[in-house]
């Protein structure tokens, strides 16, 4: 729910949401809105149900029509190529230049140990400073001697 509200704010998306289940001849409008908002047609239909422009019954009919139209296999393709991970690319470039990934970790606000694990940095670059910091003291174990 949070993602749909974030990507399709109610005040802005309402005029674009269907008010009845799309028929085979009216999918073009939903697909155009999909491109405009950068979300799948399925996400638009879900948001329409969530905001009440589609009843539960209309949403069910929409999903049946969606599947019958074969949209489920190609819906996301129209959104284009997925974004490429920036951190991974920067990590590879940094390591190729024989740099310590510690600066990269600081730049992206991630613990250095995680960056080293992702890029497979040698153990020599790992330090005790990357050890887990406990928020609570660990109780001492009783040895049973006494």
Q: State the residue for tokens 């406990």.
A: 134
Q: Please give the DSSP secondary-structure letter assigned to residue 32.
A: H
pLDDT in tens, 20-35: 999 887 888 998 998 8
Written as six digits, the tokens of 29 are 């409008």
Written as six digits, the tokens of 71 are 């949209």
pLDDT in tens, 28-79: 899 899 888 889 899 999 999 999 999 999 999 999 999 988 888 878 666 6
b vs e for 74-99, b when ≥16 Cβ sit within 10 Å of the residue's Cβ? Answer: ebbeeeeeeeeeebeebbeebbeeee
Domain boundaries, the chain: 2-79, 86-130
Output the CA angle 59-8-23, nearest 5 degrees. 30
């Amino acid at each position: 729910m949070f993602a749909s509200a974030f990507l399709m704010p109610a005040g802005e998306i309402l005029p674009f949401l269907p008010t009845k289940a799309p028929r085979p001849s009216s999918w073009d409008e939903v697909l155009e809105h999909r491109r405009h908002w950068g979300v799948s047609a399925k996400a638009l239909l879900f948001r329409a149900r969530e905001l009440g422009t589609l009843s539960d019954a209309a949403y069910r009919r929409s999903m049946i029509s969606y599947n019958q139209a074969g949209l489920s296999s190609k819906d996301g393709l129209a959104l284009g190529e997925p974004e490429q991970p920036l951190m991974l690319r920067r990590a590879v470039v940094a390591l190729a230049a024989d740099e310590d990934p510690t600066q990269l970790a600081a730049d992206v606000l991630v613990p250095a140990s995680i960056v080293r694990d992702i890029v497979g940095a040698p153990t020599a670059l790992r330090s005790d400073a990357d050890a887990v910091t406990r928020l609570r003291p660990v109780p001492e174990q009783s040895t049973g001697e006494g």
